[in-house]
Structure 1
Amino acid sequence: MVDRPEGPEPGTPEYEWLYGKQRRASDDATRVMPIGGQSTPEPPPDTRKRKVQAQQPYQQPPAPARPMTQPQPPGRPPQPPSGPTHPGGSGGRGRRLRLRPVKLVLLLLALWLIFLAVVPFVALRKVSTVDAFPDGDRPADQDGTNYLIVGSDSREGLTEEQRKELGTGNAGGQRTDTIMLLHTGSGPNLLTSIPRDSLVEIPGRGTSKINAAFAWGGPQLLIETVEKNTGIHIDHYIEIGFGGFVDVVDAVGGIEICPTKRMKDKDANLDIKKGCQEADGVVALGYARSRKTDPALGDITRAKHQREVVSAVGKEVLSPWTFVNPFRYWNVNMAAAQTLKVSDGTGPIDLARFGWAMTRVNGENGLTCGVPISNLAVTWDPERSKRFFQKVIEDDTDSIKGNLCTASGLPK
């Protein structure tokens, strides 16, 4: 009799499980392995089935459904997804929307600055140049800068209707309606009127009214006469005609004038009341030209009115509204260009400095005076005028006070 090793009897569930006969997946999955050679009783069939049902294979949960995109119109590119494109920031589209107004403002500012810089150069192309400086000996260069300003009464370029409106008449030739000297330097700007009836020595012509120098020899003889009688070196010459003067006043929207009495002058086409009032170009020109409304001082009062008008124009030109309003800025620059004449060598920077200085001849920033005279015959005072001119030569306008600087030129 052969001894059979100890183990499960054939036909028993233990035997079938151990030797792989008729094994079921559920049996393998739920059968308990014996520990220490001892078998563990199987759980009841109903319990085993519940465990099999409880231990179903793991199934990955379905991915969340993606939102359906709205159909795009035909021919339109698909819209980029919204939301942040990088951690901590808003999308690129949002960033572009924020920067767009800033870029637009910077672009408009750049274009405006270019416009402000270009317009004066465009106007300068319309300005005529003249050979204004005389040959021969002239005063040496001096500190500061001296501009000789001439308002010509030339009717050139004016129509018959304009001559009638402005009251200029039809006189031919060239004469100076206004002569002024502007000095800029280390001290206050100084604007001096030289009455056109001033009796001076004209080189090669003898003693006569200074206005005759311009009529006989144009800018060259006028500059030579001024330099010989004052000792002041003229650096730049600027001439403007009637039409240009009227256009400048109208371009700034008119100016304020303050006549001390009623003024009525048929020759100047002027009829205004006493007191401060707004004046357009035509009225301002008549106010600056009239010499018959003050029989006592005549040309002296006229020179005073001319400085008043020039100062008022300068104030209006410097107004912020001139630089904010493109139409006004354009008109101001173009107004005098067609009737403006400057000396050779007077460039855009010189004219810019001149324009700036003309706005600063009143108050603490400047002085306005008449050439010191001794009588109503407009004879220059031999002592006061020499002191006055020497102050200009030495660029010492700070010390020009008292009787050296009066509105009429007469001593106080």
Structure 2
Amino acid sequence: MGRDERDVPPSYSPGSSGRRPAARGARPVGPDQGPAVPRPRRQAGASQPRPDTPVRRRSAREQSARAGAGYDGQLPPSYAPANGGHARTPGARATAEYDPTATRVDSGRTARSGAPRSAAPATAPHAPGRRRRRPLVTILVVLLMLLIAWPVGLLVWANGKIQHTEALSGAPNTPGTTYLLAGSDSRADGAVADPTEGQRSDTIMVMHVPASGPAALISLPRDTLVEIPGGGLNKLNAAYSQGGAPLLVETVEGLTGLTMDHYVEIGMGGVRDVVDAVGGVNLCLDYDVVHDEFSGLEWVAGCHDADGTTALAFARMRYSDPQGDIGRGQRQRQVIGAVVKEVAKPATLVNPVDQVQLIDAGTNALVVDTDTGIIDLARMALAFRGATGPDGIVGAPPIASMDYRPGGGLGSTVLLDQEKAPVFFQKLRDGELTAADVETP
């Protein structure tokens, strides 16, 4: 029998049975089966299950892998797209769509599946909440930097504006911290219009903060009779006119027995400018003053808001005061206390404009020793507030006479009590001073 070579594939080698394989597409026929029935060809792009084989549903990973490999086959009839997706059509290439609920697979593509996975879902890129948090964090960081940088920069700027002078004597330290506050009455700044030349010290105060005990602010009358080193007996303010700050410091140290740790001087124009910088102060005086001859003060008995010019006249007024230098010392302390009170108000402390104006006015008005900086001045302000508070001590040393005339052309002077004054200054140094020890608080 002849053999049709077209029915045998080129690589065919007959086995032991000598049978040719069944035609392509037909199932093999056994001895008890009928003739071979050709099996229908599977079309490209189609996926049809065999009649005798159960349908197996592919997992989401397999579907994604086949889609990533460019699989174009038809999905089984039972396939239902997850998450509301769209079923593929035969012959159509799978297209990746963004789905916020999708999870990541190893191939780097997105697997669309409604079933939960063991791995946590990736955070959606550019989430609105994250975008809102980033600007907020940036703003907070900037504000924090400003809160730190502003006070530091302000301190550095203020420290650089302070005027310094040689003042301290270098004497051995005494317990506690002692400040010498001097008010210069130099007319050079134009704050007072009168023909007086040179400079004197209208205000001389010693503020002492002991190691323990209350802080004290003691006014020394400018006409106090003292021994000036190298100058003999004279009025206290003559030490300033003769030798400036160094001689004044040395003279006060000889009188009190306390070593001055800091020297702070303020001019007349400085008082006016500082008061104006804090917006004025409230001052009280219980009697009328009708145009004081030298200060120019006019005052109606009671408490009034005063600007810088009025506050300066209030602090300088002497001849219309029945207590003379003692009364003037009280008013000078009142002016300084009112300024400190205004400076300590929250509205001033948190207002950058007020801070700059106050520091500018204060540093232009002050002259301090070479060892004193802005931090020392801040501590001095706190000490002043404590000394003038309910627990502090304010007043003058014991006075024997307000009109003592030693002769020698000195005229009227203030004579301290020669027995009580040394004990007074000893108590001041040791923090044992009481309100009963001071003169006319």
Question: What TM-score, normalized by structure 1, do the two folds share?
Answer: 0.74
Q: Deviations along 1:358-410, whole A, 9 cap, x unmatched?
A: 2222233422111221222221112222111001222x1xx3224312335xx
Partner of 1:404: 437
- Alignment partners' CA distance in 2, 1:24 and 1:343: 113
Map of 1:130-145 to 2, 5 A cutoff?
Answer: 130-134=165-169, 138=171, 140-145=172-177
Amino acid at match of 2:253: E
Hey, what does 1:207 align to over in structure 2?
233
Mapping of residues 389-400 of structure 1, within 5 Å: 389-394=425-430, 396=431, 399-400=432-433
Tell me if 1:381 matches 2:408. no
Q: 1:24 to 1:403 in 2, by over 3 A?
A: closer
The change in CA–CA distance for 1:83 and 1:189 in structure 2 (over 3 A counts) is: farther
CA contact (8 A) 1:297 1:376 kept: no
Q: Does the CA contact (< 8 Å) of 2:187 and 2:193 recur in 1? A: yes
Looking at structure 1, the residues matched to 415 and 256 of structure 2 have their Cα atoms a distance apart, in angstroms, of 13
Q: Percent identity?
A: 38
1:111 offset after TM fit, Å?
Answer: 0.7
Select which of 332, 342, 345 maps to 1:306: 332
Match of 1:8 in 2: none
Distance 1:23 1:215 in 2: 133
User: How far, CA to CA, are the matches of 1:168 and 1:81 in structure 2?
Assistant: 85
Q: Which residue of 1 aligns with 2:130?
A: 95
Of residues 328, 331, 346 in structure 1, which corresponds to 2:357?
331
* Among 205, 208, 219, the residue aligned to 1:180: 205
Query: Secondary structure of the residue that 1:188 maps to in structure 2?
Result: coil
Structure 1 residue aligned with 2:26: none
Q: Judge conservation of contact 1:176–1:196 (CA < 8 Å) in 2.
A: yes
* Structure 2 counterpart of 1:205, one-letter code: G
SS at match of 2:319: coil
Number of aligned residues: 340
- The answer to whether the 8 Å contact 2:158/2:374 transfers is no
Q: In structure 2, how many angstroms separate the alpha carbons of the residues matched to 1:297 and 1:96?
A: 72
- Asked whether the equivalents of residues 168 and 267 of structure 1 are also in contact (C-alpha less than 8 Å), the reply is no
8 Å Cα contact 1:311-1:361 kept in structure 2: no
* Alignment map for 1:349-364 (pairs within 5 Å): 349-364=375-390
Which of 97, 101, 111 matches 2:146? 111
The equivalent position to 1:148 in structure 2, one of 180, 187, 212, is 180
Cα distance in 1 for partners of 2:439, 2:100 equals: 77
**1 or 2, which has the higher helix percentage?**
1
2:276 equivalent to 1:234: no
1:270 aligns with 2:297: yes
- Structure 2 vs 1, CA of residues 225 and 88 (structure 1 numbering), >3 Å: closer, same or farther? same
- The within-5 A match list for 1:235-250 is 235-250=261-276
C-alpha spacing 1:281/1:82, structure 2 compared with 1 (3 Å)? farther
Counterpart AA for 1:350:
D
* Conserved? CA contact 1:16–1:23, under 8 Å: no
What is the aligned partner in structure 1 of residue 61 from structure 2? none
Equivalent residue letter for 1:376: M
1:125 corresponding residue in structure 2 = 160
1:244-283: per-residue Cα shift (whole Å, max 9, x none)?
1111111111111111111231421211211112111111
Q: Contact 2:395–2:440 (CA<8 Å) still a contact in 1? A: yes
Q: Secondary structure at the match of 2:233?
A: strand
Q: Counterpart of 2:406?
A: none
Q: CA deviation at 1:65?
A: 4.5
Alpha-carbon distance between aligned partners in 1 of 2:102 and 2:194, rounded to the nearest angstrom: 79
Inter-partner Cα distance in structure 2 for 1:83 and 1:340: 70
Q: How far apart are the structure 2 equivalents of 1:233 and 1:357?
A: 17
**1:99-147 Cα deviation digits (max 9, x unpaired):** 5335423422431332122213212222221111347xx4x31111111
Write the deviation string for residues 146-196 of structure 1: whole angstroms up to 9, x where unpaired: 1101110112243xxxx4xxx442422111021111111322221111111
1:32-71, Cα deviation, whole Å (9 max, x unpaired): xxxxxxxxxxxxxxxxxxxxxxxxx9425464447xxxxx
Amino acid at match of 2:175: D
For 1:104, the aligned partner's letter is: I
Take 2:163 and 2:389, find their aligned partners in 1: how far apart are those partners?
A: 33
> What is the CA-CA distance between 1:23 and the residue it aligns to?
6.4
Question: Distance between the aligned counterparts of 2:385 and 2:332, measured in 1?
Answer: 14
- Give how far 1:291 is off: 0.4
Q: Are residue 20 (structure 1) and residue 53 (structure 2) matched? A: no
Q: CA RMSD in A?
A: 3.0
Structure 2: tracts of 5 or more residues without a match:
1-29, 41-49, 53-74, 87-97, 104-119, 404-413
| Structure-1 separation of matches of 2:246 and 2:417 | 25
The one-letter code sitting in structure 2 at the alignment partner of 1:327 is V
SS in 2 for 1:376: strand
Question: 2 CA distance for matches of 1:251 and 1:405?
Answer: 33
Query: 1-side partners of 2:317 and 2:249: how far apart?
Result: 25
